Each structure stands twice: as C-alpha cells, then as structure tokens.
Amino acid sequence: MKSLYILSLITFTLHTHVALAEGAAQLDTLILSGSHIPIDGESYARSNTIITGEDLEQNQHKTVADALRTVPGLHVSRSGGAGGTTEVRIRGAESNHVLVLIDGVEAPDSSSEYAFETLTADQIERIEVLRGPQSALYGAGATAGVINIITKGGVDEGHKMSTSFEWGRSDSSNAPSSAMSGILQTGNENGNFSIGVNYRNEEGWDTSDTGGDNDGFEIKTVNFKSQRHISDDIDLNIIARYTDRITEFDNVVSYPTTCSSPDCYVIDAPNTKEGHELYMKVSADMALANGITTFSPDISYSEQINNYPSFSSSNQSSTLKFIPRLSLQLPSQNILHNLVFTAEAKKEKYRSSSASNNALQERTSYGIAGDYHADITDKMFTQAGIRYDNNDSFQNAFSWAASASYKMGHNTTLHTSIGEGQTNPTFYEQFGNLANTFTGNPDLIPEENISWDVGITQYFPASDVNISIVYFNEWLRNMIQINSDSSYNPTDVENLPGITKKQGVELSATVNPVESVIVNFSYTYLDGKDPSGQSLVRRPRHSGSIDVDYTFPGERAVAGATLTYYGKHYQLDYAANAPIEPSLRPPTPRDVKDSYTTLDLNGSYKLSDKIELFGSVKNALNKDYEEVLGYKGQPATVYMGVNFVW
C-alpha cells in the first residue's frame, strides 16, 4: 500500500496532460441522482462517475455492464454467455448492495440482485455511478452505491429519428448475432416525448467449453418518456419501459462425481430462462412561491418475472413506491441553502416456486428523509442527509451521510464523504428452497456498513484536463454468507459475526497528448477481507482499463481501443471436493484465478450527416479467460452496422 500511495502521489504531482473522467464530468454536469434534486457536479463532493451516451456509442458497448467495467471501484463478473448472470460490485461489496435505478425507478430483483445481463446499452442518455453509502437518500439496498440509468427523452423543438442495424459473428463458434434499434424524439412548447424500441439476438458461445451448443440470448425492449407542460408552474412526467427476454444457459453441478476439475462444474445443457421486466412512473413538478419551493410527488411500479421451463420453476418480484418530495432553495447572506424533505411508502412482493409452499412474501416500509446541500462560498460546498425507515420485517433503521469539498488554489479540490446504511436480506436468502442444495433462513437480519472516503482532484485549465485520486474504507457488519457446503456448516445461509473490512484506492485520468487523441485511464486497488481474514472472492486486488480514441482529420472517422485488466483473485472451486464423501466434505476450497487482459476495438465513419458506418471487435486477441470459474469468457467477436439519423 505504501508503494501504491507513493506512486499515486508522484503521478499527481507530475503536471502531465491527465484528467479524471469523474472530475471532468463535475465541471459542467448536473448529478441527477446525487440528491432528490439535481446538483451541480462542481459542488458535489461524493465519489461519482458519469458515462454519457456519446461514450456508449463511441465504445460500442452492447450492455450497460460492459460500460461499467471501465469505472474505477467497480468489478463486473458474468457467469456464462452473452446473456449470462452478471454481477456488478462497487468497492468490493456484494451486488445486492448496489441500488439500480432506471429513470429513477427502482429495479426489482427476483432472486438476490439486479440482473444486469437484461440491460442493453441502446438509447441511454447517460449513466450515473455514485460510490459509497447512499442509504440516507435511498434507504435499504444502497449501502455500496447507486447506478442510475437515464434513457433518452424528447427534444425541445422539432423532431429527431434514428435507426441502427448491426450484425456480428463469433470467432470460435461462428455464431451470428443481430441487433436493431430505433427511437423517435419530438417536442414543442407544450412538452416532449420519446419512444424507442431495440432488439438484440446473440447466439453466443458454449460456456461449458465442451463442444456443446452455444448459449445466447434474445431481448426486446420498448421505452417511452413524456413530459407535458400543464402550466408555467406544473410539469407532468410519464415513464414506461417493457423488456421481454430469453436466455440460454448450461447446467451447474455443485459437486460433480466424474472428476474434481472445474471443467466438470459447468455441463452443456439446453436450458432457457424466459421472462420480462416492466417499469412505470408518473410524477409531477409543481413550482410554488415563485420557484423557491417545488413539490414533486411520484408513484412508480416495477416488476420482474422469470420462468425456467427446463426445471418447471418460476419466480417474480415487484416494487410499488409512492414518494412525495418538497424542495426549497433559500439564499441567505451569499449562501445558497437547498433543503429536500422526502417521505416514502414502499411495498415489495416476491413469489417463487422454489420457495417453501410457493407462498407470497411481502414487505412494507415507510421512510422519511431530509437532505441539505449548501454552497457556503464559491469554493466550499457541503451536503448532509438523514433518513429513518420503519420496516414491518426488520428492525427500524436510521441512515446518515455527510460530505464536503473545498476548492483550493491552483485549481485543486479536496473532497471527502462519510455515511452509514443497511441492506436487507434478499427474499431468496430468507425463503429460497432448492432440494438438497439450499434452504433460506427467515431469521436473517440486515447487513450494516459505515464507509468513508477522501480524495483530491487537480484541474488544468490550459489543457482542460484534471486528475483525481480517492482512498476509501468500509466496515460491514452482519455480513450474509451462503455457505458452500451445508453438510459441513450448520445452516445454508447466515449472518457472520465480526467485521468485513474493505479499503482501496481509485485512480482515474484522461491523457490528451494531442488534440485528436484522448486516452482514458482507470485503476482500482482493493483489499477486502471477510471476518475470518480471508480475501473476498471474485474481487481482484488490482484492476483497470485504458481507452484510446483517435479522431481522424475532418472528424468523419473515429477509431478506438480499450484494454481491460482483471487481476488475480479467488473463486470457489466447487469441483475440488467431488471425490470426498458428502458428509465429510470440508468447506469449498478457493482457487486462485490468474489475471487476464482483453482488448476491444471500435471504429466509425460518417458517410454523410445522416448515415454512419460502425464496427467493433470484442476480445480482439481471442484471449481464453473465465470471469467466473468454469464459464468460458467471450471469444473474439466481430460486429458491423449502420446508423441512420433524420
């Protein structure tokens, strides 16, 4: 760690042309999810990263999870093919500690965490990633951070239409893929709306790597957003989104009897997961007292349904929320005070054929929160929040957070934040039931954490670049662990005594050596240990990415390359105990997975203002790797397409 700190400080003091994507975004960006009202990014002190729609299009990311791989502090792991189960962890936390919002609507999960594999990168305006506890704003489930996906809305005047078509083929499996996306955006003085559709079908590859059938997915999405100006002081907003999907996957054998190699852990099989997701929200913004006060009530509903025909099983979950919100802007003696008062009523439902008696499980909670943001001077900014939640299934919870930033001389900014929150056990952890495999524990209690970070950002106005370094530290209590062998452990899932500790460094920068070249860089150091002192699985100590984009003269053609590094890490080897009698098996041993590096290429060329050709190569070097033990990673895959705008 000392060597790392010294290296980071040397990098900081060298006045090279470097910048942080996070810091650059803060200079001229509103953070929509940083409070319950938009906050100027320059005064927002909590660690965040903004991925714009232009970034997604330039790098030709197929899913949101692919884009998140380049964000400092985040780790992404996919089990299987293109539509395989995908987990996103922030600062080493579990994926269900991350709250996912789509246009402000809480995404439901039918098992243990949000299924990122269902979210393609089409028609997204931007992605906001907030790192660190956000429970003071959003309640349970936001202890590690928030990922808010904002889709494209209407335009102020006139209309805009775009359509794209894409085709692809995998190197090793020779499997084709196709995609289509189209969106209409329109608007006038009375309001605006957008409606978009997208379709993606990838035949994928054999994730068991045994010469079996390819494991692909098919996904269809319709997205609608509307804003109506009822009067000069009232806006009505409507959001609706529907996704239908089919995913193919192989069988998993926890303790294969044929061999003790991870190669036997995943077995080729013609399994499918079918389901849909639905999001709806109606909200209003009503300006009162000449704009000093705004009343913003909203009601939202989301649901997710999964069916597994091969196993004659299914699960479904839904979340209904009502949130009235009152915000005030109070200038006083050159200080701008922003106060937001929020109440929340939330109803969650879950039903699974794998749960005991297929019973419907329900949770109800009521919350009240306050958030304060102040521009003390033109150089000092503060934010603080508190929240109280009344739960019918768990103990009532109190969450809090505070942050501050100070702009020093020479375009240097210091920022720090601290917060505490909780994550409730998932319905699956409490009530799941798989024959001879897993039984939930209804007596689980919420996980609680406290986390703080401190960082420094340096801005270079002459070259419009900056650099930032952030150190974070987190303590997690009551960590929930699904035990790897119920024959050895007394329960299948339990709260662990003791503290899970995580600390690390996030470094992100942009190098602009010449006007036509931009190099984005991110690096994460993570040291995460469970209460027994063992390293957390699927969390590499070192990870990072380098993205290089070159704009050709005339600005019609752009080429880019992204190098992603995933360092050595531990994974559970379920096959290692295969020869051992089940009643005598010790806990599942850990297997050290070697580091791997993948290279992605992309490029585009504008034939005219209305027609653009684009193409990309994922895993261009055809690197053989596994993100999750036993699952073959994506082979070299080529994509080509055309985009029309009018």
pLDDT at res. 7: 34
Residue 636 in this model has a pLDDT that exceeds 60: yes
Least confident of 267-281, 417-431, 435-449: 435-449
- 420 Cβ neighbours under 8 A, 6+ residues apart: 133, 135, 399, 400, 401, 448, 449, 450, 451
Host domain of residue 88: 2-645
Q: What is the rounded distance in angstroms from the CA atom of residue 140 to the CA atom of residue 405?
A: 26
Average pLDDT over residues 350-367: 83
The residue that leads in pLDDT, 355 or 52, is: 52
* DSSP 8-state code for residue 424: P
Q: What is the rounded average pLDDT of the residues 462-467?
A: 75
- What number of CA atoms fall less than 13 Å from residue 179's CA on the CB side? 27
Mean pLDDT of 293-300: 95
Span of 29-33, 58-62, 249-253 with lowest mean pLDDT: 29-33
Confidence at 357, pLDDT banded by 50, 70, 90:
low
In one letter, which amino acid is 163? T
* C-alpha distance from residue 198 to each of 82, 162, 166, 201, 278 (Å): 16, 11, 11, 10, 15
> Rounded distance, CA 457 to CA 414, Å?
6
H/E element holding 327?
strand 325-332
pLDDT band at 73 (very low <50, low <70, confident <90, very high): very high
Residue 438 has pLDDT above 90, yes or no: no
Q: Is residue 25 scored above 60 in pLDDT?
A: no
Q: What is the pLDDT of residues 106-139, one digit of tens each?
A: 987 756 678 888 899 999 999 999 999 999 999 9
Judged by DSSP in three states, 162 sits in: strand
Give pLDDT tens digits for 224-268: 999 999 999 999 999 999 999 999 998 877 666 666 666 677 888
Query: Two tokens at 530?
Result: 């469970």
For the entire predicted model, the pTM comes to: 0.91
pLDDT tier for residue 349 given thresholds of 50, 70 and 90: very high
Percentage above 90 pLDDT, the chain? 61
User: How many domains in the chain?
Assistant: 1
**DSSP secondary structure of 507-567:** EEEEE-SSTTEEEEEEEEEEEEE-TTSPBPTT--SEEEEEEEEEEPTTSSEEEEEEEEEE-
Q: What is the CATH number of the domain that holds 181?
A: 2.40.170.20
Least-confidence region, from 229-243, 272-286, 320-334, 571-585: 571-585
Model pLDDT for residues 603-621, shown as the tens digit of each residue:
999 999 999 999 999 999 9
pLDDT in tens, 481-521: 887 554 545 568 899 999 999 999 999 988 888 889 999 99
Please, which pLDDT band fits residue 588 given cuts at 50, 70 and 90? confident
* Range of 17-26, 574-583, 588-597 with top mean pLDDT: 588-597
Is the distance from CB of 238 to CB of 269 less than 8 angstroms? no
